[in-house]
Structure 1
Amino acid sequence: MPVHLLSEPIAAASLTSGRLWSLVAALAGVIGVIAGGLALARIRSGATRRGAFVALTAGLIGMAGGGYVVAAAEGGPGTGYGIVGGFVALVIGLLAAALGWLALSRARRAA
């Protein structure tokens, strides 16, 4: 029997490196969602393009980090590899990138 199948489950409260990276990626995605929402709220001001670029960049970083965690995980949920957080980071990053793209396209039309 392979060694990795005999390992002990990791406690939910412990912060492993996979869980840490998935949290960092999800945080980048949340920052992107906030920046994208603010950019959409301020379409007429000059800060719209900057906020849209921040949202787009943070969303791509969140998706890349989440994708890395999911690709590097060697086990499923509860194993400490952060795969659930990686999938959450992928979704939040995608939402942030979509908001940034939408704000950027609306800012170009408004200009």
Structure 2
Amino acid sequence: MSIRPLTAAAVTAALILLSAAPAAAATTTLADSYGMTTDRFFATSAAFLGLAAVLVGIWAVVRAGNPARSFIAIGAGAVAAVVGAIGFATAGGGPGTGNGIVGAAIAIFLGLVAIALGARAYTRAHR
């Protein structure tokens, strides 16, 4: 009996195993980044808080008689911006890594917009 078929089978099995292992590792790495991680949850929550603060800030600017709305917009915007800044500073990778860097950037932006709208509404209420 010749050793060639046994050698060919061993080489083929080794090539299949070596080529399948990196594909399986890449699949689990990509699949992990699409889920809701803790960092993404906090960044998304801060972004939604910033969006709510912007809406309250717009409401406060349109109806400039009540300074309480401007305080709510400023306070919620500040919380969103601070949580977003913490999330942005502690993120270990770029977009798509599951670290919430995109949500944190959006939270910072919306928080600053809410602070500006709240400040404008507060100054208009005190004229």
- TM-score, length-normalised on structure 2? 0.74
Larger radius of gyration: 2
Cα distance in 2 for residues equivalent to 1:30 and 1:87: 13
Given the alignment of the two structures, is residue 92 of structure 1 paired with residue 110 of structure 2, yes or no? yes
Residue pairs, 1:1-111, within 5 angstroms? 8-9=29-30, 10-12=32-34, 14-43=35-64, 45=65, 48-109=66-127
Structure 2: 5+ residue runs without aligned partners?
1-25
Structure 1 CA distance for aligned equivalents of residues 113 and 75 of structure 2: 12
**SS of equivalent residue, structure 1 residue 75:** coil
* Separation in structure 2 between the aligned mates of residue 34 and residue 77 of structure 1, nearest angstrom: 26
Runs of 4+ in 1 over 4 A off after TM superposition: none
- Can you list the C-alpha shifts for 1:29-85, whole angstroms capped at 9, x where unaligned? 111111111111111x3xx20000000001100100100110110111111000011
Higher relative contact order (CA 8 A, sep 6+): 1
Specify the code of the residue in structure 1 equivalent to 2:86: Y
SS at match of 2:29: coil
Q: CA RMSD in A?
A: 1.6
Instruction: Measure the CA separation in 1 of the matches of 2:52 and 2:96.
Output: 26
How many percent identity over aligned positions?
37
